[in-house]
Amino acid sequence: MKLDDFDFDLPESLIAQHPVVDRSHSRMMVVWRKTGKREHHIFKELPEILSPGCFLVRNNTRVFPARLKATRPGREEEIEILLLRERHPGEWSALVKPARKAPVGQELRIRELAAHVLEFTGSGGRILRFDSRPDLMKDIERIGEPPLPHYIHRSKEHNFSEDKLRYQTVYAQNTGSIAAPTAGLHFTHDIFKRLKDRNIPVCEILLHVGYGTFQPVRCENIEDHRMESEYYRVDAETLKQILKYKTEGRRLIAVGTTTTRCLEFLACNDNSPKIASEGECNLFIYPGYKFKALDGMITNFHLPRSTLFMLVCAFADRDLMLDCYREAIAENYRFFSYGDCMLIL
């Protein structure tokens, strides 16, 4: 399939720059794959829309403030660092912009922190070694900014306290993501209570969202694209519970594309439900993929030509999704990370 097959025109005015005041008041388009029927709801209605024969699986990763502002010693400038992944204690893979200001051996100062460029890892990619500090992650949590996507615009003087709170699910636990699992941003504790009251259980898995999730596809033939791997972990008890619910005939509703890829990766690898599983997930899902675990999905409205849009097209048919996106645009739905969502059944 061609990259242009997943393109569509989106008015810039529909790209959400801020979340709605109440998480659960996002709009939600409900789509039935078999018939193409769709309805328009508010997310807080989710517990009543789902039947007690469903169960949810969510990704409990936590976003850390991975964007840092740096300078070279003795210079007045701004260099942006996006931390991607800690390879070894104090040693991180990162993206640096502008990259020309970060040659090998260069010292970068991030307030009281210092990091040295060890090596190149591609265009803008660097390996950074931070000076030894006992609580480096605590320092990063204190001085870093949330890694908002490039389409969310903030001024240099912006106070990121709201974004640190809202670019995070209410159930985030395990620190390690550089992007939020955005389908989960709509949930509140009250919604989970109402799901429980309706006998709709919730299971948790972990996948740390990395750069690969939103890395642009540059191949004309999408089959040539390669997803970067992301760390996942699912304990044995959770795997057994998921298998039990599926055996009972319950419908598995994945909260987001990251949960979807992790579950399908496990299903593709015939993972034993009695053994905890962790490792690297690099599954790229696009039309033609045969789903093995999912029965439904909650997901935001995604960028054109992105792997995320390709995944939902694989789950619900490309022509149907393009038509749903056209309807969402006509109905002024809010798009991308802070935007509205879709429930696909």
Distance, CA of 51 to chain centre: 26
Average pLDDT of the residues in 283-299 = 97
What pLDDT is stored for residue 305 in this prediction?
A: 97
The model's confidence at residue 215, banded by pLDDT at 50, 70 and 90, is confident
The model's confidence at residue 272, banded by pLDDT at 50, 70 and 90, is low
Domain boundaries, the chain: 3-63+166-344, 67-144
The model's confidence at residue 214, banded by pLDDT at 50, 70 and 90, is confident
Whole-number Å distance between alpha carbons of 50 and 69: 44
pLDDT, tens digit (0-9, with 9 covering 90-100), for 224-256: 999 999 999 999 999 999 999 999 999 999 999
What pLDDT is stored for residue 274 in this prediction?
A: 58
Average pLDDT of the residues in 209-234 = 92
By mean pLDDT, which of 40-44, 153-157, 193-197, 285-289 is the weakest? 153-157
Mean pLDDT for all residues in the chain: 95
Beta bridge partners of 126: 94, 120
In a 3-state reduction of DSSP, which class is residue 15? strand
Most confident by average pLDDT, 152-156, 226-230, 332-336: 332-336
What pLDDT is stored for residue 336 in this prediction?
A: 98
Contact 310, 285 (CB under 8 A): yes
Q: Which two tokens stand for residue 186?
A: 């709509």
Domain 3-63+166-344 in CATH 3.40.1780.10: yes
pLDDT at 212 over 90: no
* Fold held by 67-144: Thrombin, subunit H (2.40.10)
Closest CA to 205 of 252, 164, 152, 147: 252
Average pLDDT of the residues in 318-336 = 98
Cα-Cα-Cα-Cα torsion 185, 187, 189, 190, nearest 10 degrees, comes to: 150
pLDDT, tens digit (0-9, with 9 covering 90-100), for 163-189: 999 999 999 999 999 999 999 999 999
pLDDT at 131 over 80: yes
Average pLDDT of the residues in 68-81 = 95
pTM exceeds cut of 0.85: yes
